[in-house]
Amino acid sequence: MYDPKKPTGLGLVLGQGLVTSQGELWQRQRRLMQPVFQRSNLASLLPQIVTAGNNLLARWRLLGDGAEVNLADEMMQVTLEVITQTMFSTSVLDKIEHIAPALDTLLRYAAKSVMNPLRMPLFIPTKTNREFNAASAVLDDLIYGIIGQRRAQPAAHNDLLDMLLNASDNNGEFMSDKQVRDEVMTIFTAGHETTANLLTWTLYLLARHPDVLAKLHQELDNLQGNIPTAEDLQQLVYTKAVLNESMRFRPPVGIMMRRISKNTELDGYLLKQGRLVIFSIYNIHHHPDFWQQPEQFDPERFLNAESRRFSFMPFGTGERICIGSHFALLESQLLLSMIIQHFDWQLLNTGRSRN
Ligand code: HEM
């Protein structure tokens, strides 16, 4: 069982945020944070997402015609800016260049710690421990610093941090500074690379499927060059279908883990209570029992209202389903529509790629 006093893996970085907490703490936090991530609440964050999108377009315009870019890096940069803008408004944009490398150092260390249970405790100043502690300090100083400022001088900022600070549980209690810090780190980590993966794969797949791209252009032409509003996004059904098919075909999170709650026989195998199982979202999304021509990228399949509860689960399923799914879709629809309306792109080295 995960022991918060001796954290390994993600727990080292995220503390006891939504991803790493269990039981009553998780339940309290999930109830408290659910309203923040409701679709209707998120519309107020659209301007911050648009700002990050406009910064991306401006950066690309400066590169000029024919520029070569690494799309995965670009999407990581824009989604990091989105999560920073929506979390803290503009107050830390000057520090954004320190956030990405610090987060990277922490997550690499966390991943290694899972493989190496005999690692040196963090207070022993080995090179990697010193790097971890320095990166932790960068992010903690930043997050606790802003929390402190907001507590001292409350003013409306219309961002996720305000929403987290103002969220209370059934007893009217708010989160401690440490809990807010853990949830901020959790949202940063869970919400940035996943969405970058979705956008990168989508742009890749569109370059490989010009017919789909042409249809997408047709839908987006209705916007007449404008940035879509929250209501417009609801109407962009083909754009949504493209994103869904992209997540089916190349799920940004490929596997999930569950602990077996009671002995279960599955296809002749005994899954023992208490054991961990890993299952593949990718395989479910490509299973011929659930999908016709699963190896074909075809957004049309998402244009009907068929229920796909157990065959399509890019955001997981059950009570631990991704809390940020509406956020991710809002962000991806918006950024995709901005990119497509203003830029054409093609792949380099297509000879080496599949699909
Ligand atoms: C395309 C983008 C995204 C994908 C594919 C994705 C996928 C997932 C998956 C598969 C899970 C595990 C669900 C389970 O165990 O059933 C998860 C959990 C989670 N995601 Fe996402 N996610 C995305 C974006 C986001 C964003 C933007 C945020 C926050 C702004 C976010 C926050 C979280 C959190 C906090 C959890 C843990 C929920 C809990 O255990 O209660 N995710 N996500």
Q: How far apart are CA 202 and CA 266, in angstroms?
A: 35
CA of 316 to the centre of ligand 1 (A): 8
Q: Is residue 3 part of a domain?
A: no
pLDDT per residue of the chain (355 residues) written in tens, 0 to 9: 445 556 668 888 899 999 999 999 999 999 999 999 998 899 999 999 999 999 999 999 999 999 999 999 999 999 999 999 999 886 676 777 788 889 889 988 888 887 776 777 787 888 888 998 999 999 999 999 999 989 988 778 889 999 999 999 888 899 999 999 999 999 999 999 999 999 999 999 999 999 999 999 999 999 988 899 999 999 999 999 999 999 999 999 999 989 999 999 999 999 999 999 999 999 999 999 999 999 999 999 999 878 888 899 999 999 999 999 999 999 999 999 999 999 999 999 765 555 5
- Ligand 1 lined by 250 (C-beta under 6 Å): no
Instruction: Give the atom of ligand 1 at the shortest distance from the alpha carbon of 313.
Output: 10
Q: How far apart are CA 328 and CA 344, in angstroms?
A: 23
Instruction: Give the atom of ligand 1 at the shortest distance from the alpha carbon of 29.
Output: 41
Q: Is residue 23 part of a domain?
A: yes
- CATH number of the domain residue 330 falls in: 1.10.630.10
What pTM, to 2 d.p., does this model score?
Answer: 0.93
Q: Is residue 193 part of a domain?
A: yes
- Ligand 1 lined by 33 (C-beta under 6 Å): no
Check residue 89 and give left, alpha or beta (phi > 0: left; psi -120 to 50: alpha): left
CA of 291 to the centre of ligand 1 (A): 24
In the three-class reduction of DSSP (H, G, I as helix; E, B as strand; rest coil), residue 269 is classed as strand
Q: Which structural domain, as residue segments, surrounds residue 44?
A: 11-348
Q: Is residue 354 part of a domain?
A: no
Q: Is residue 1 part of a domain?
A: no
Q: Is residue 259 part of a domain?
A: yes
Q: How many structural domains are present in the chain?
A: 1
Check residue 64 and give left, alpha or beta (phi > 0: left; psi -120 to 50: alpha): left
Pairing of strands 255-259, 276-280: antiparallel
Q: Is residue 2 part of a domain?
A: no
Q: Is residue 97 part of a domain?
A: yes
